[in-house]
């Protein structure tokens, strides 16, 4: 493992345009579990268990808003979560001028909390919510404090999270920015993702640079394409690699 860390440190040292593409595994060290680890919820109105994917779908929000928010608040918002060593290592690389962008599938906002400036959130963020009627913005605390579906305190309209739900399309501006960043990168680090969630996972195919680094505890479909494959905890790996690079 030490040899792999040193190799990653060398890649980081010699790269000038790094992009990081991350998934749920980046946040597990911050005690945020992958919501798919849930076994589903019991829907009183449907009288059956439903999958996490169904629970955070557009149609479930529309038809069963109170049950949607019950699952959403318990499984997707973690107000006490703090950035971990991976988040801080990436912010450090950006501060050094090496990392140009973070492209994330996560919705927890921890990259920004750690200090990263250029973050493309493919699936939105729990920290932004808006009234579907008048457009007023609300933070996560407002949603957490609501009893059932949150209602706008100005017009009485329904407030929904600025998160891409199942059955909804990704924001095209975010996708375009992510594609532009990945296409221009000399090094792409893929971390904490199994690369099974599409269309987000397809963005990695735009990478034409020199080094493809893959850091994930389990195998992915891109393992054979990686110049460097590290199957270990990403928070530990990134911290050690950045420290070794600076030594």
* Angle subtended by helix axes 2-14 and 234-246, to nearest 10: 60
Residue whose entry in the numeric block shows the structure tokens 């703090």:
82
Catalytic residue among 64, 87, 111, 123: 123
Is residue 64 flagged as an active site residue? no
Q: Which residues of 61-75 are buried (b: 16+ CB within 10 A; e: fewer)?
A: beebbebbbbbbbeb
Active site residues: 123
């Amino acid at each position: 493992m030490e040899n792999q860390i040193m190799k990653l440190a060398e890649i980081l040292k010699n790269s000038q345009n790094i992009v990081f593409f991350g998934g749920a595994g980046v946040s597990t060290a911050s005690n945020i579990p992958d919501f798919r680890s849930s076994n589903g919820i019991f829907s009183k109105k449907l009288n059956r268990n439903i999958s996490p994917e169904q629970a955070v779908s557009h149609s479930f929000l529309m038809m069963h808003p109170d049950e949607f928010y019950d699952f959403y608040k318990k499984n997707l918002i973690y107000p006490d979560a703090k950035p971990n060593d991976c988040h801080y290592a990436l912010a450090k690389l950006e501060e050094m001028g090496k990392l140009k962008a973070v492209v994330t599938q996560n919705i927890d906002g921890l990259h920004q909390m750690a200090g990263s400036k250029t973050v493309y959130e493919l699936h939105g963020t729990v920290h932004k919510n808006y009234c579907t009627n008048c457009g007023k913005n609300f933070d996560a605390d407002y949603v957490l404090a609501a009893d059932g579906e949150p209602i706008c305190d100005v017009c009485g309209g329904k407030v929904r999270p600025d998160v891409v739900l199942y059955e909804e399309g990704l924001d095209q501006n975010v996708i375009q920015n992510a594609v532009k960043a990945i296409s221009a990168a000399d090094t792409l680090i893929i971390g904490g993702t199994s690369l099974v969630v599409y269309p987000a996972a397809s963005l990695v195919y735009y990478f034409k640079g020199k080094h493809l680094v893959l850091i994930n505890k389990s195998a992915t479909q891109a393992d054979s394409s990686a110049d460097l494959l590290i199957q270990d905890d990403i928070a530990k790996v990134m911290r050690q690699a950045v420290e070794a690079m600076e030594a």
